[in-house]
Amino acid sequence: MRFALCVRPDRPRTAEAAAGAAARMRATGHETVEVSLEAPDLASRVRGVEVAWVFGGDGTMLQAARAFAPLGVPLLGVNLGRLGFLTSATISQLDGTVADVAAGRFVHDERALLDARLLRDGREVVRSLALNDVVVARAELVRSIHVAVAVDEEPLIVYWADGLIVATATGSTAYGFSVGGPLILPASRAIMIAPIAPHLSFANAIVFDSEQRLRLDVQEEPARLSIDGQVEHALVAGDVIEVRRAAVVARFVHPAGAKSFLTLFREKILKEPGS
């Protein structure tokens, strides 16, 4: 098989782990290419790859999902981080996992992504995919901001809050969960919004149909736009953020014996031992 081994350039420990893994994969007859997730020629370098092995933690998986979803390449995460909610293997399990994947002992898992556009004076200035969430929040001043939300062009509510989270099902266990949002199972294509510290505003999270389009109008500044907690942009009053379900999906590979989502949820979120 042809594998890509992917790392973030600012994580030297993961690069060492990926290099060692690549050597072991080649020794068992597999073709490998080692790439940085920030390589400008990523698409051409991974052409023909059947699985991209991503070395790192959940943050690295978020970056990899945004990079690889348009390419249609499935990801398999090798956990070198802390939480490991999006990863399926560890370094100690690597040889067995490679054997399982090569033998076809794995399942595919498709996750919905968000497509977010930042419009300023009617012009698109930022467009990005998000696997977890799109967040509009207050910036350096410790005060609430007003964000007006419309659904399919119909006004819904004006939030006065520290911010607003728009999340996928995958992101429902991340920032959205920490502010009291619902758990949404990852197979769902639903979109959720949840306010952050709302003041005199509707405080409950809202879940929308996968085909509905959200529009967030920033009425005050300073504010910031955050994509998956990794890509940030300054916002000014009058900016509009349009969010909808992306046309592409993030594809993951889970080898035989990998823990189910609900098992991971009990272990890592509910902290139930021995689940």
CATH code of the domain containing 29: 3.40.50.10330
Expressed as residue numbers, the domain containing 7 is 2-105+256-269
Phi, psi of 259 (to 5 degrees): -70, 145
Instruction: Say if 275 falls within a structural domain.
Output: no
CB atoms within 10 A of CB 189: 16
Instruction: Say if 262 falls within a structural domain.
Output: yes
Domain shared by 6 and 36, yes or no: yes
Domain shared by 164 and 66, yes or no: no
What is the pairing mode between strands 133-138 and 223-227? antiparallel
Please give the structure tokens belonging to residue 227.
Answer: 């994509």
What is the Cα–Cα distance from 96 to 99, expressed in whole angstroms? 5
Active site residue 217: no
What is the pLDDT at residue 16?
A: 92
Instruction: Say if 181 falls within a structural domain.
Output: yes
- Please choose, from the candidates 24, 11, 187, the residue with its C-alpha nearest in 3D space to the C-alpha of residue 91: 24
Domain shared by 101 and 117, yes or no: no
Phi, psi of 241 (to 5 degrees): -115, 120
Cα→Cα distances 150→81, 113, 185, 192, 200, Å? 37, 20, 25, 13, 19
CATH classification at residue 243: 2.60.200.30
pLDDT tens by residue, 72-127: 999 999 999 777 889 999 998 899 999 999 999 999 999 999 999 999 999 999 99
Instruction: Say if 226 falls within a structural domain.
Output: yes
Phi, psi of 32 (to 5 degrees): -130, 150
pLDDT tens by residue, 158-177: 999 999 999 999 999 999 99
Cβ contact 87:112 at 8 Å: no
Domain shared by 126 and 243, yes or no: yes
**Structural domain total, the chain:** 2
Domain shared by 77 and 188, yes or no: no
Instruction: Say if 274 falls within a structural domain.
Output: no
Instruction: Say if 188 falls within a structural domain.
Output: yes
What is the pLDDT at residue 3?
A: 98
What is the pLDDT at residue 274?
A: 58
What is the pLDDT at residue 22?
A: 96
What is the Cα–Cα distance from 134 to 263, expressed in whole angstroms? 26
Domain shared by 241 and 119, yes or no: yes
Largest CA distance in the chain: 62
Instruction: Say if 14 falls within a structural domain.
Output: yes
What is the pLDDT at residue 275?
A: 47
Domain shared by 120 and 63, yes or no: no
Q: Which of 58, 100, 109, 217 is catalytic?
A: 58
Cβ contact 35:60 at 8 Å: no
For 5, residues 6+ apart whose C-beta sits below 8 A from its C-beta are: 18, 19, 21, 22, 25, 32, 33, 34, 35, 52, 53, 55
Query: Could you list the pLDDT tens digit for every one of the 275 residues in the chain?
Result: 999 999 998 888 899 999 999 999 999 999 999 999 999 999 999 999 999 999 999 999 999 999 999 999 999 999 997 778 899 999 988 999 999 999 999 999 999 999 999 999 999 999 999 999 999 999 988 889 999 999 999 999 999 999 999 999 999 999 999 999 999 999 999 999 999 999 988 999 999 999 999 999 999 889 999 999 999 999 999 999 999 999 999 999 999 888 899 998 998 888 876 54
Domain shared by 140 and 98, yes or no: no
Establish how many alpha carbons lie within 13 A of residue 171's alpha carbon, considering only the half-sphere containing its beta carbon: 30
Instruction: Say if 222 falls within a structural domain.
Output: yes
Domain shared by 31 and 93, yes or no: yes
Domain shared by 238 and 262, yes or no: no
What is the pLDDT at residue 273?
A: 66
- Burial state string for 57-77 with b = 16 or more CB within 10 A and e = fewer than 16: bbbbbbbbbbbbbebebbbbb
Domain shared by 188 and 77, yes or no: no
Crossing angle between the packed helical segments 94-102 and 12-27, to the nearest 10 degrees: 50
Domain shared by 123 and 237, yes or no: yes
What is the Cα–Cα distance from 235 to 146, expressed in whole angstroms? 13
For 145, residues 6+ apart whose C-beta sits below 8 A from its C-beta are: 136, 137, 138, 160, 161, 162, 163, 218, 219, 220, 221, 223
What is the pLDDT at residue 83?
A: 76
